[in-house]
Chain A
Amino acid sequence: MSDITLTIDGRTVHAAPGTTILEAARSVGIKIPTLCWHEDLGAPSACRVCVVEIAGSRILQPACSYPVSQGITVRTNSPAAREARRMAVELLLAHHPDDCLSCARNLRCELQQLASDLGIREIRFERIERGLPKDESSPSIVRDPEKCINCRRCVEACEKVQGVAALSTVNRGFDSVVMPAYESGLMDVVCVMCGQCTLACPTGAITERDDTARVWAALSDSSKHVVVQTAPAIRASLGEELNLPAGSVVTGKMVAALRRLGFDRVFDTDFTADLTIMEEGHELLQRLTSGGTLPLLTSCSPGWIKFIEHFYPELLPHVSTCKSPQQMFGALAKTYYAEKAGVNPADMFVVSIMPCTAKKFEAQRPEMAASGCPDVDVALTTRELGRMLREAGIDFDNLPEEDFDAPLGISTGAGAIFGATGGVMEAALRTVYEVVTGRELPLESLEFHDVRGLEGVKETSVALNGNCVNVAVAHGLANARKVLDRMQAGRAPWQFVEIMCCPGGCVGGGGQPIGTVMSTRAERAGALYEVDRGMELRSSHRNPGVATLYEEFLDRPLSKRSHELLHTHYTPRR
């Protein structure tokens, strides 16, 4: 319904009531510069970069939030609008460090881009520094308040999307800056390390902790046997770090590139994703048949785990004891694989490439050391791997497609879809159905579309031998809260619930390429479902590598050795 007509820069525009001037302008290809506005996080109307002139209005209005009304005449580049926009950016630049060339966000900074687009050539105000120290307390995230421009997108992401509210604006006026409560370090507050703030931040004020130096050091240390695992979601997002469009699947080139960097073995976290289904699926069946605590909550997502430890510790008995696929991989690499390869676990260096900043925190949890050494030595984000590949000058486009190494590189389509919200649930249903019924799922029933997609909380029921199993899937911690609140209120009809910390699941993780928005999440998820469809094996229990692992090493799901290596416990943090 577009029943409002207005004029923008001389063009007649039709728009529905409630549309903002920004949306109306974009609909006809008129670009209005923005800074604090974010397509998923709303319009705080704070930066005043998008101000436009509306005929008859005493003052300029922010296009991002000002609603269209009948007959108004808007000028996006009037002298007053340009002057105000340039002044706003100049003021921000004068209160921001001048170290773009050595900033983590160099060339990926919205403030830098804006200054370039507006052609700011001179800053007429004296540069002033805040004099606030970097917060490097967290193993996942580094905050540099000097670079904060008070757009508050991180606050919105943390509070509204994740329901955590570890960040908020403190002080007022010129001293305003985004901080954890009482200016504590992120490690000392309820931060779950998800890194959604790092995606929201337009500048270098909040970034992932850069661990590439440790990986470079290991790669050049001949005494180390360096293995790498890549999370399911990386194959659908790494391309964007190398200028490919969102949704490009780069599995083979990624494997080749990792070999070029010098990793001794290139493995796939999809393998332990399949293994997770075996362990967690059997845990579910055991709880279903023996009257265990239900619903069972998934445990793959470390941001989600830290969240429930902080906010709902009383519900921890619901959480699966399975380690995440990253940690299962690390534990097996330094035991099962080390044995096979004849490598001392102490000489093995496990690197994981994750879409996630919380994986860095998870890797250093003290209980994650099944072999006696840390399961995982370094967890790198997609962004850090992109940086390493660019530094190494790897010609990604022209790399051949290569295969993962065996045995920890063997996987199924079920492992691949772990990277999308609903993927763990779908993979589990494929296996649990066949284990319980003893019947093979017909190809046309293999895909559980009710648990796919970006709706916040998805619910469905599956008939298993005449019994109805109710399941739910939530992604983004604000949605997780809805599920947990229903559980606490005694209104939870489910037996099994998948929860992923980040919106869209791991495809939307906080370690993914800068510029991740809901639409890119959807494209990456679509790419993972394509990967699944292209696989010969699409159910975790059909993974031959996993079968061999049980045969040679673990015996059976939930065996004593499985418990020692693949299961864990949690820490109430309230």
Chain B
Amino acid sequence: MNLMEYQGKELFRRSGIPVPRSQHCNTPDEVAAFIEKNPGKWVIKAQVLMGGRGKAGKIKFASTSEEGRKAAVEIMATPMPPNRQNPDGEPIHSVLVEETLDVALESYCAISVDRTTKKPAIIVTRFGGMDVEEVHEKHPESFHTFFVDTAIGYSPFIGRELAFKADLDAGFRKQFPAIVAGMYNLFFTYGATLVEINPLILTKDGRVIAADAKVSLDDDAVFRHPEFKEWQKTLPLDADETLAAQAGLGIRNFRTFPGTVGTMANGAGLAMATMDAVKNAGGEIANFLDVGGGANAQRVRNCYELVVNHTGAKVFFINIFGGITRGDEVAKGIVEALNTTKARKIPLVIRLTGTNEAEGRRILKDAGMTPVETMDEGAARAVELAR
């Protein structure tokens, strides 16, 4: 679960990380009213998950309530344009009105989960305020990482050591260990998989402040923090994720592609291998779909309708490795699903294994479907039928 900037900063505030004074606003009127009451120089920032807001003109400045209103109207009038990170773009539903800072220097600090060492990794570079990937290309030597022993946890020496190694300006040094302590506290308390400050700012009057906030929370840990359920509801799902949720699947279990061969398999690994098999057979895939365990009639029907109604599939290739499930029961489920759906009919190619698989294939054949024995055979048949 990726948080918006204003949500991340709320967690920063709770964790003792200094952030600029700000107000989250859902409408241009709210922006104008806030600036009316709080005169000064303000920056209006679109609240989206995508990066590249500055380049897209979605960050504007305002000194009066009217300027604030106008800026918010302009920002919210059009969605974020597509970029490499998000080819769909993203609608803008709210803005953050924030105090402007007199910036002296910008640096970067993040904590994430490192799979290789199986430890939290704290990463620092003195180059902040740019796309971090770009910094890594230009100044790879500027990155310094500390892998935290979870049995010990965070201790201030880690922040001190990183500040020296990364050659952060002396102005950062005194406050830096406490800021990293706050980040680590947030990371563990809320089950974050990423806490990123880019840029971490040193102001001309010597304050160190998190000017932006990127926080990802572990979806598997949200149950420990019921307060995030409200946020979860407000966060945007893309088109595929919305459809997956409606079909009762996990939001990552379904993705559409421009091709004509619809696919479904049980298990993410097999679903990926099924897509690869279609590609290998010379076809173009219409989607990725992991139906998970228990391919019963209801689930198969939902998945069938999902693929037929929302992708360009001309054929549907179902690949179920039964394992301990009974092939005849899965076959009956598929037939029942297809007999009860109101969606338009497209040809089905079904690869089915498991106990009683021969019986399962007979049931499918009797129902007018195309049962096959292997994944390669199924992919080849599906590609042929899609032409």
A binds B: no
Seen from chain A, the residues whose Cβ lies within 8 Å of a Cβ on chain B are none
